[in-house]
Amino acid sequence: MDLSTTAVAFLRHCQTGRNLSANTLKAYRQDIAEVRRYCVETARELPLNADALAAYAEWLAGERGLAPATVKRRLACLRAFFAWAERRGLVAQSPFRTAEICIRLPRRLPRCLTAAELRALFRQRPTASPAIALAVLLLFTTGMRVGELATLRRGDLDLDRRTIRVRGKGNRERQVFLTSDEVVAELAAYLDGPAPHPNTPLPDGAGALSAAGALSAPDNLSGTSCTAATGANSRPADGSAANTFAGTSRHAASGAQADRHSAQAPLLATRTGTPLSTAAIRHALRRLAVEAGITRRITPHMLRHSAATSLLEAGVDIRFVQRLLGHRSISTTEIYTHVTDESLKQAITGAETLRRVIGG
C-alpha cells in the first residue's frame, strides 16, 4: 500500500464524505505524517499488523515522548484510516480487529480560574485590543473553544435573537444564547467598528444562557471557586442594543471597509482585517493575565472550564451545560461535577461546624 496516495484519498473522503472540520483534517494530516515517519525510521511497510500497531504505540510514547492523549488520538486516526481502507478493499482486514492496545488516560480535573483571577483578568480587559477584549468576554460567557471562537464569522451572530452559531468538533453546529444587555451592546459596538476599547470591566449580570441558567459577571464571584448566579434575560426597552444583525453596519460604505463588515468576514480580526489565529489569542490572553498580576499560566480553555463549572455550581442541569459546550457524550461534561464537588468540600471544611459545637 502506498501511504502517500492512499492518505490523499482518505483525507478527501474525510473532507467530502464525512464533512470533517478543517481542524480535524489538519490533525489527521499530522497523524498520518507521524505514522509515515515511524515506517521510515523502523523500515516498516503498510499495512501494519497487530504487533506492529502495538510497537507503534510504544514508539509514540517512548521514542517520541508523546502524552497518552496524543498517542490515543494518533491511533484513533489510524483506526479510521484502516477501517476506510478495509471498506474500499485496499486491505483484507483492519489490523485493529486483532490488536490489543490499551491507552490509559490520567484523570485530570479541569483547571479553572479562581474568583480573584477572574476579577483581575476582567479589570485588565479594557487595556487589550477590541478583538482580544471581546475574545476574553466570549470565551467566559459562552464557554466556546478557542478554535470555535477564531473561526466565527460576523454572519454567525444574530443580535436580534441574541444568538451565536458555533461550529464545533466534527463540524457540528450548535447555538449559544446571549442573555446580557452589556455583552450584546459591546458586540454591537464592535460589529459597527472600528470598535472602541471597552471602558469598563464586564458589568454585573452579564452572562450566557444555554436553554436554562446564566453565567454571572466575574465581579459577582466570591470565594476560591467559580460561582454563578441566575442572570438577566431581558431586552433593552428601546431595543437599541438588539437592532444590530451580524453582517450589517450603519457606517460601512464600500471597498475594504464594506468587506470587513460583510457576513463572511471574520468576527475577530486585527485593525487591518486579518483574522486572529488561535495562537494569537492564546498569546494575547497570556500577556493580559500577566499584566493583571496572575502568576500562573492562563489558557483560553481555562475560561471554558470556568464557564462550565460556574453553570453547574449555579444549579444548571448538566445536560444544558453539555449542549452549551458541544460535548457529544455526557460523560465528558461529568468531569466538571468533580470540580464542583471539590468546591463543596472546601465550603464544608471552611464551615467547621463540629468545632463550633465543641468550642461552643
pLDDT digits over 106-138, tens only?
777 678 888 899 999 999 999 999 999 999 999
Q: Is it the case that residue 98 has pLDDT exceeding 60?
A: yes
Supply the pLDDT for residue 194. 57
pLDDT digits over 263-292, tens only?
888 999 877 778 899 999 999 999 999 999
CA pair distance 214, 209, nearest whole angstrom: 5
Supply the pLDDT for residue 57. 92
Cβ-contact 185, 177 below 8 angstroms: no
- pLDDT band at residue 244 using 50, 70 and 90 as cut-offs: very low
| CATH fold of the domain at 115-349 | hpI Integrase; Chain A (1.10.443)
Lowest model confidence (mean pLDDT) among 54-63, 151-160, 314-323: 314-323
CA pair distance 132, 327, nearest whole angstrom: 25
CA pair distance 218, 121, nearest whole angstrom: 9
Domain ranges of the chain: 3-97, 115-349
Name which residue leads in pLDDT, 112 or 72. Answer: 72
Q: Left (φ > 0), alpha (ψ -120 to 50) or beta: where does 293 sit? A: left
Q: Is it the case that residue 348 has pLDDT exceeding 70?
A: no
Nearest CA to 244 among 208, 204, 195?
Answer: 195
Domain 3-97 in CATH 1.10.150.130? The answer is yes
CA pair distance 123, 148, nearest whole angstrom: 25
Q: Is it the case that residue 239 has pLDDT exceeding 50?
A: no
The DSSP letter of residue 281 is: H
